[in-house]
Homo-oligomer: A and B are copies of this chain.
Amino acid sequence: MSTTLAELARLVEGRVQGDGERRIEAVRTLESAGPNDLSFLTNPRYRAAAAASAAGAVLVGEPASGLGGVDLLVAKDPYLALARILSHLHPQPKPAPGIHPSAIVDGNARIDAAASVGAGCIIGRDSRIEADVVLHPGVVVGEGCEIGSGSELHPGVVLYARTSIGRRCIIHGGAVLGSDGFGFATHAGGHEKIPQLGRVVIEDDVEIGANTTIDRAMLEETRIGAGTKIDNLVQIGHNVQIGAGSLLAGQSGVAGSANLGKGTILAGQAGVAGHLEIGDGARVAAASAVFKSVPAGSTVAGIPAREVGAWRREQALIRRLAELQRRLKAVEEALAEKGDQGD
**How many chain copies?**
3
Contact, CB under 8 Å: B286 / A271: yes
Instruction: Verify A325–B324 contact, CB threshold 8 A.
Output: yes
If A156-B158, A255-B249 touch, does A79 touch B194 (CB 8 Å cutoff)?
yes
| B-chain residues with CB within 8 Å of residue A303 when the two chains form the complex | 287, 302-303
Contact of A80 among B187, B289, B328 (CB under 8 A): B187
A334 interface neighbour in B27, B193, B313, B335, Cβ under 8 Å: B335
Q: Is A150 an interface residue (CB 8 A)?
A: no
Closest to A79 in B: B185
Within 8 A of B (CB), among A297-343: 302-304, 313-315, 317-322, 324-325, 327-328, 331-332, 334-335, 338-339, 342
Q: A interface, how many residues as a size bin? A: 35 or more
Whether the Cβ atoms of B247 and A235 lie closer than 8 Å is no
The interface residues of chain B lying within 8 Å CB-to-CB of A328 are 324, 327-328, 331
Contact in complex: B197, A90 (CB < 8 Å): yes
Are B137 and A119 in touch, CB under 8 angstroms? no
- B253 in contact with A268 (CB, 8 Å): yes
Q: Which residues of B contact A45 (CB under 8 A)?
A: 275
State whether A251 and B271 are in contact (beta carbons under 8 Å apart), knowing that A160-B154, A211-B213, A245-B189 are contacts in the complex.
Answer: yes
**Chain A, 48-104, CB within 8 A of any chain B CB:** 77, 79-80, 82-84, 86-87, 90, 92, 100, 102, 104
* Known interface pairs A83-B192, A174-B174, A235-B251; A322-B313 also in contact (CB < 8 Å): yes
Within 8 Å by CB of A122, from B120, B170, B211, B286, lies B120
Give chain B residues whose Cβ lies under 8 Å from the Cβ of A104: 100, 102, 119-120, 137
CB of A172 within 8 Å of the partner chain? yes
- Which of B120, B170, B205 contacts A120, CB < 8 Å? B120
Question: In the bound complex, do residue B313 and residue A286 qualify as a contact, i.e. CB atoms below 8 Å apart?
Answer: no
Q: A90 near B195 (CB under 8 angstroms)?
A: yes
A273 interface residue (CB < 8 Å to B): yes
Whether B182 and A229, one on each chain, are in contact in the complex, defined by CB atoms closer than 8 angstroms, is yes
Identity of the chain B residue whose Cβ is nearest the Cβ of A310 in the assembled complex = B319
**A79 CA / B191 CA spacing, docked (Å):** 11
Is B286 a contact partner of A273 (Cβ separation < 8 A)? yes
Give the distance in Å from the alpha carbon of A245 to the alpha carbon of B185 in the complex: 12
A130 at the interface (CB under 8 A from B): no
Question: Of residues 113 to 149 in A, which have CB atoms within 8 Å of B's CB atoms?
Answer: 118-120, 122, 124, 136-138, 140, 142
Chain B residue contacts of A286, Cβ below 8 A: 255, 271, 273, 289, 291
30 sampled A-B residue pairs with Cβ under 8 A: A28-B220, A29-B220, A32-B220, A77-B185, A79-B185, A86-B197, A87-B195, A100-B104, A120-B140, A136-B140, A154-B160, A155-B160, A156-B158, A158-B174, A172-B179, A174-B213, A180-B207, A182-B229, A190-B245, A193-B207, A211-B213, A213-B233, A232-B235, A233-B253, A235-B250, A249-B255, A255-B286, A286-B289, A313-B322, A317-B322
Other 5 A-B pairs with CB < 8 A, given A233-B253, A318-B318: A80-B187, A119-B122, A140-B173, A273-B286, A317-B325
